[in-house]
Structure 1
Amino acid sequence: MTLVVGVIVLALLLLLATCGGKQTTKSKAKGTDVPRTTMSNDVAARAPRLTVPAAFDTKHGWDIPDGSTEYAIAEATNRIAYLERVGNELFRLRTLNPATGKYGWEGEAWRPLFTGDRFPRLLSVSKDGQDYFVTWSYGKLSPQALKAAESIVSLDVYDAASGQVSRVEVPWTDAPVVTADGPGIVISDGKATSAVVDPATAEVVKVPPGSLGYPKGCGDCRKLTQVRAMTDKGLLISGAREFWVRGGWYSRKVAPKEADPASGIPASMAGGYLLAKWQPKKGSKEAGTHDLWVLHDVAKGKAVIQVRCRKPAIKPVDDPRLVTSPGGQFLIAGRLAFDLDEKLGYCFEESDGTEPLTLTTVSDDGTAYGAISARSTADAMAGGGRPVRVDLKNAAPAPLAANVRLPSSETMGVGVFRWTDGTFRTHLIGYPRLED
C-alpha cells in the first residue's frame, strides 16, 4: 500500500511539473534577473578580446553569440533586448542587463511572417515613462492567401520591465515602414497612409491621407507627403519641402531666421528633438553651398541649436539618424553633434566639405567615436574610414589606431560592440567603461 501511494504521489508531482499554460494575446514572459549557465560575465574567458578604444575594459564584460545584430535598449529599465533562433523557423526575444551581464526575462518562441532565413525586426519605444520592446514581421497568415489585403503587419509589444506581451495584427496591403521614434508605433506605406499602435493599450488607429491636417497655404505639403513619426502632440508629417505636426505646429512658423521658411525637410527624431535640414535664405552668401541643420524641440517646434554644413557632392541615400547619449545631453547624427547644455552645434568636416566625420556613438561625458571618410555609420562600425575619438566639450577629434573597433552604442556605462568571428558567428559584446 505504501509503495502504491508513493508511486501515485510521484506521478502527480511529475504531471504538475510538466503542465504549462496556453499563451494568449497577453502573457508574461519567462525568467528573472539571474545568471544563466550559458553566460559568462567575463568575455576574456570565452572570446578573444577585441581592439577597442582605451576607455573600455576588455578584461571584463559579456558576450552574446549567435543572436541578432539588431538590438534595442530600454535605459530606464536596465534592459537590452535581442533575438535568438529556436530551431529553423522560430525566434525568441531575450533580455539582458548590460551593467551586470545577467539575463532577464525571455519571451515565448514564435514563428514570424518573414521567411526563416532572416531575423524579425526589433524596435524600442517609450510612452509615459514606460519602455517597450517591439518585434514585427510582415506577410500572409496563410500560405494559400491570394489577395494582397490578406497580408498583415504582426507586432509583439513587450513590457520591457516585466516581459508581458501583446500581439497586434494590422491588415496591410503594401510593404510597410515601421518606426518607433516617439511615443507610438507608426506603420506607413512610406507615403501618406498610416496607422498608429499605442504600445500601452495595443489600440490601433488608422489615419487615411485625407485626415493629415494639411497646413493652410502650403502647396508643397500635398506633394510627396510622408508620415514620419508619432510625437506627444500628434503625427509628424512632411511634404516636398515643408513639415508639420498634425494639430500642432507648422515648420514655416518655426523656421530659423537664417533659413528659407519654405525649405524645411525633417531627417530624424530622438529624445524629444527633431533634426531638420533647411536651405539658407535665397541670395545669402552660402545659399548654394551649405545646408542649415537645425535641432527642434518636438513639443513646440522651436529651433534650439543650428549649425551649417557644406552640401555633400553626392547626396547620402539615408538622412542622418539622430542618436542621444544615455542621459540625453549630447546628440549626434552623421557628421553633426549637439550639446544641449551649452547650446552648441558642430559639423565635423573640412571647410571645403572633404574629410567628413561619421559619428557612431556618444557618452554622457561628451566623448564620441566615429570615423573620417566612412561612407555611412554602418561602414564606420565595420572598419571603414579612419577611426577617431572626439571630445565634444572642446570639439577636438583625436586619431585612434587603424584597427580599433568602434562601439555601436553605449548604455549604463557599457559599450556595445558587434563582431563576427572566424566561423561567421555573430556576437554582441559588452565592455564596461573604465573608471576615471
Structure 2
Amino acid sequence: MRRMRPLDEEKPTRRQRIVRGTLVAGVTVLALLLLLVTFGGPTKTTSDQAGPSADTKAVRPSASSVPRIPQLPVPATYDTARGWDITDSSPTYAVAGSTGLVAYLARTDDDRYLVRTVDPATGKAGWDGQPRRTLFPPDRYPRLLSVSAGEGQEYFVTWSYGRVNQSSGQPGDPIISLDIYSASDGSAQRVEIPWPDPPRVTASGPSVLISDGKATSAVVDPATVDVVSVPPGALGYPKGCKECRKLTQVRGTTVKGLLVSGAKEFWVRGGWYSRKVAPKDTDAASGVPASMTGSYVLASWQLKKGAKDVGTHEVWALHEAATGKAVLQVRCRKPAIRSADDPQLVTSPQGGYLIAGRLAFDLSEKRAYCFEEEDGTRPLVLTTVADDGSAYGARSARNPADALAGGGSAPVMVDLTTAVPETMALNTRLPSTEIAGIGLFRWTDGKDRSHLTGYPHRDDR
C-alpha cells in the first residue's frame, strides 16, 4: 500500500537525499564485509535452511528424517530391519488402496493441522494439504476417514463439529465442517453443513454419511460435495414390515442407496429388502445388519423355529451390498452377554478376505469361519488381514481396539488357507492395517509421542 504523505510534511532537499544515500550505502558495505569475515564467502540459502514458517514449525517427519527404525516385537511375518517410522502424528490414519497412500494429520500450531500422506511401500512423503482450523477444541484432532467411490476414485475426508463465531462475536449455529481431498493429488473441497446435535459421520460406502445415529441423515458425494438430506419419512419403509419402523437407523450408503434397519429386518432404500434375501435355514424376518464395507454387508440371523440349536446358535451372513445376495454364511454360538459393539468388517487390501471379530470369510474359496471353542468360549477377535490370508488378532479380547492395545489372553495369527490359529508371544504387537504388503503399527513411546511404523513382509516367508 502506498503511503500518503501529509501536505505539511517537508520534502527533503537534494543535499539531504545525497547524505542519506551515502549513509545507507556505507552501512550496506560494512554489513557485507562482516558477513565475509564471519563466513568466509557467500552461502546459498535454501528453503530447508530457512527457519520454519508460521504454518510449519518443524521438519516434516518421514522415513528419511528417522535415524533408526524402531525394533518392535511384531509377528514374525514382518521384517523389522526394513521399514519406516513417523512420529507425532495423529492417533488415527486412513488408507487409500487404489492410490497406495496412507494419510495422517500433523499439527502446524496450536489450533491448526494439515493432512499429510506417505507411500507405505517406501516411507517417502506424498502430498500435503493446506493448514486448516478445526471446530473441535484445540487439543483434539479432526476425524479422518477414507472413501472409496468406485472406479479407482478415492478420497480422504476430515471433519469436525462445532460453532463458528459470527462477526458480532456471538457463537453461531452448530455446523459440520468437512474437507474432502482427492487421494491421488490432494486437491481439496470444503463443505459446511448445519447440524443441530453432535453427528455420526461414516464412510463405509461410496459416499460420506452423516446421521444422528437414528433415522435422520444426509449424504455427501465426495466428487461433487453435493449434500442430500434424507428425512425419516423418505426412507422407503418396506410394506408389511412393522419392525422396520421401530428403532430405525440409517446404517450406511451403497451403490443402490441408503442401508437402513429397524428393530428387525433391513433394506436398501429403492433397492433390496432383507426378507427376500434371507440365508438358508434362517427366520426371514430376523435379520439385523452389523457393519458394512463398500461391497458387502454383514448381518446376523436367527435360525428357523424348531431348529435343534435355535436357542444356542445364530447365523452370520455376508451379503452383497448391491443386490443383498447372501454369498457366505457361518453358524456361531450366541454369546452369554452380547457386546455393545457390533463386529466391524475389515477387508484385505485386494478384497479377497474379510474379517469381523471372531468371523472370517475367504471369498475365493467360498469359506466362512467362526473362531471359537465348541462351547463358545475363547473366541478370537481379529484386527487385520493380509492378501495372503494371514489374519492377526487376540483371544478373548473385548474388541479390536482392546486387542490392538495388548488386551485378551494371547495374540494369535491365523492362516485362513488352513484356518489354524497360532499363538504368538505375549508381547507381540498386532498390525492395525495392511496395505501394499506393509503392516502398519500404532504405538506410543516413553516420551508419550505417538508413532506410526510400517514394516514390510519378509521376503523369505
Calculate the TM-score normalised by the size of structure 2. Answer: 0.85
- The whole-number CA distance in structure 1 between the counterparts of 2:162 and 2:64 is 39
Counterpart contact for 2:267–2:273, Cα < 8 Å: yes
Q: 1:421 aligns with which of 441, 445, 450?
A: 445
Tell me the equivalent position of 1:73.
Answer: 95
| Structure 1 stretches of at least 4 aligned residues deviating more than 6 Å after TM superposition | none
Structure 2, unpaired ranges of 5+ = 1-24, 29-46, 48-54
Structure 1, unpaired ranges of 5+ = 8-16, 18-29, 31-35
Is the partner of 1:76 in helix, strand or coil?
A: coil
- The whole-number CA distance in structure 1 between the counterparts of 2:251 and 2:313 is 25
Counterpart contact for 2:350–2:387, Cα < 8 Å: yes
Matched, 1:184 2:187: no
1:190-201 aligned at under 5 Å gives the runs: 190-201=213-224
Could you tell me which amino acid in structure 1 is paired with residue 319 of structure 2? H
Q: 2:330 aligns with which of 292, 296, 307?
A: 307
Is the partner of 2:244 in helix, strand or coil?
A: helix
Counterpart contact for 1:40–1:46, Cα < 8 Å: no
Matched, 1:98 2:125: no
Q: 1:131 aligns with which of 139, 154, 161?
A: 154
1:24-63 aligned at under 5 Å gives the runs: 38-41=61-64, 45-63=67-85
Q: 2:279 aligns with which of 223, 238, 256?
A: 256
Tell me the equivalent position of 1:23.
Answer: none
Counterpart contact for 2:165–2:171, Cα < 8 Å: no
Deviation sequence 1:93-135 (CA, Å, 0-9, x none): 1001101111111111111110011111010001132000000
Deviation sequence 1:57-87 (CA, Å, 0-9, x none): 1111111111112111001111100011111
Matched, 1:298 2:321: yes
Could you tell me which amino acid in structure 2 is paired with residue 252 of structure 1? R
- The whole-number CA distance in structure 2 between the counterparts of 1:194 and 1:415 is 35
Tell me the equivalent position of 2:339.
Answer: 316
Could you tell me which amino acid in structure 2 is paired with residue 89 of structure 1? D
How far is the alpha carbon of 1:378 from its aligned partner? 0.8
How far is the alpha carbon of 1:421 from its aligned partner? 0.3
Q: 1:372 aligns with which of 373, 385, 395?
A: 395
Distance 1:123 1:56, change over 3 A: same
Deviation sequence 1:394-420 (CA, Å, 0-9, x none): 100111111110000110010000111
Deviation sequence 1:356-407 (CA, Å, 0-9, x none): 1011101111111111111111111111120111010110011111111000
- The whole-number CA distance in structure 1 between the counterparts of 2:400 and 2:182 is 29
Counterpart contact for 1:42–1:61, Cα < 8 Å: no
Tell me the equivalent position of 2:459.
Answer: 435
- The whole-number CA distance in structure 2 between the counterparts of 1:107 and 1:195 is 26
How far is the alpha carbon of 1:319 from its aligned partner? 0.3
Could you tell me which amino acid in structure 2 is paired with residue 111 of structure 1? R
Distance 1:375 1:38, change over 3 A: closer
Counterpart contact for 2:296–2:321, Cα < 8 Å: yes
CA RMSD of aligned residues (A): 1.9
- The whole-number CA distance in structure 1 between the counterparts of 2:324 and 2:135 is 38
Counterpart contact for 1:243–1:265, Cα < 8 Å: yes
Counterpart contact for 1:195–1:206, Cα < 8 Å: yes
Matched, 1:238 2:261: yes
Distance 1:50 1:260, change over 3 A: same
- The whole-number CA distance in structure 1 between the counterparts of 2:448 and 2:242 is 52
Question: Over alpha carbons, which structure has the higher Rg?
Answer: 2
Calculate the TM-score normalised by the size of structure 1. Answer: 0.90
Counterpart contact for 1:41–1:60, Cα < 8 Å: no
Matched, 1:400 2:413: no
